[in-house]
Amino acid sequence: MTKQTIYVGGDHAGWEMKSALEDSLKAEGYRVVDMGNSNLVQGDDYPDFGYAVAKRVVNDEGSHGIVICGSSAGICIVANKVKGARAATAFNEDVARAAREDDNSNILCLPARFMSIDDAKKVTDAWLNTEFSGAERHVRRLEKVTQIENEEFGL
């Protein structure tokens, strides 16, 4: 049985990690959709891939995304420009779990230059296997985030 859909994207700095994660996720039964770059292109631009993943995730209920660049900062910033995206950088398993449990993140951002592929697999596994807690304080905070999005991006 195929698990949920995971959209993945990464620039030249994240390409090797993205490829390794794709293989790992497919082996675990996830449906993986590669949003680019499909091959290593030095000097490509992270906004292209972060935006593509975020657009797909917010328009495909129940899916998640993983985006990767050198530090994860740039690709996280661009992913969060899409209304409904809740992209979060995680560099260890505890942060990954908190990003899902507390913030209901739907896009995981990984810093390829600052973690190993093995660590990225562990972080990804922790993130994908953690559910949003639904605790009142977290729901309240996310409702405020949605209000801000509506004010800034329009209804």
Which residues are CB-contacts of 150 (< 8 A; sequence separation ≥ 6)?
none
Which sequence spans correspond to the domains of the chain?
A: 5-153
| Mean pLDDT across 33-47 | 91
Phi, psi at 72, each rounded to 5°: 80, -10
The yes-or-no verdict on residue 149 having pLDDT over 90 is yes
In 3D, which of 70, 141, 136, 69 has the Cα closest to residue 105?
Answer: 141
The CATH code for residues 5-153 is: 3.40.1400.10
Is residue 105 within 8 Å of 97, Cβ to Cβ?
no
pLDDT digits (tens, 9 = 90+) for 42-94: 989 999 999 999 999 999 999 999 999 999 999 999 999 999 999 999 999 99
Output the pLDDT for position 2. Answer: 67
| Mean pLDDT across 20-35 | 97
Give me the sign of the Cα torsion angle 109, 112, 115, 118.
positive
Number of C-beta neighbours around residue 153 at 10 A: 11
